[in-house]
Structure 1
């Protein structure tokens, strides 16, 4: 546990958090303060979590955090029957619950940022089964999936409208063909320029090598 706390404290004292904790001051944080620290770390991973938890009901805070932790594929220690204990620990700001979460988040922050970002575009989110057993998380997950499916449908409709709009333009096929030809020519020009530069670099290297041998 002491190594875990030390890692958490060291990480929180660095960018982007720039806290000023030591082992004693961190371990002395009250439940609400500890929950806010957890929320700050979650907000660094997903900016939508950037809220003041004092303005939320405890159940709302737990629901929001559980939903994101599910998306991030966090698995609480223990088995699925401990899920209610884990949820309650989040509500009350329990150290045995929050410390392992902080440790996991801070270890994988860069990877988790990508996962949180990509989750917005996924149609099916792989949420660990432990979290799906929690009704609030399951409901939120269904709502998120429904919203993303609706967004996908709207996007497809916009694409279809754009296609029809392009097709109404006279000679659109000819214009597309010319555009493709221009792109090919531009790519060829860039390739030749790159080849020419590489040859120049090679000649320069050979000249330097020859000069050093004399």
Structure 2
């Protein structure tokens, strides 16, 4: 990728890791378009001429199409889909209502890939498409169980993105599936290993170090390759 000003689209930035990533990239001199599902006071407090805020629900195809139309000819060095849910994540799958299980799957696995398909043409030459995955999506590393529905949704996301990369391989895309670590957020809880700043700093470092590298990689926030 050529040196110079960089432009990011961060999807799901109203709080937690998404919000932290917006702050991090702004501090590094990027221009950022950040999306929220509903108005976010935290995002609104980030006053910057380099920040644009859009509202979209990635589960709503019409809203995604409308955002794509608003984006127009703008191009991004990074499109990063962070949005995800962990509803009833600790419950065994047989106790989770079917509607809840289906919604987690749609939001965590199907919607990010549909968004990627809709926005892949907004990537600048040498740009990167990233999604927030999880080490819990690794089938090979699942020895402890737990978080059953969430694990399955992230494993499905990983599989969909591998198929997405194969389908578009002749376009030379750069695709990253990123595990942020076990982070002290609303989802991760107070007992988690690291804080948001550590996670987003490492994640941004990994992204910047790999801009323009074609193919697909499944990495954690330190750059370590994870077992599919």
Whichever structure has more helix as a proportion of its residues is 1
Give 1 or 2 for the bigger CA radius of gyration: 1
- The TM-score normalised by the length of structure 2 is 0.27
- The TM-score normalised by the length of structure 1 is 0.28
Whichever structure has more strand as a proportion of its residues is 2
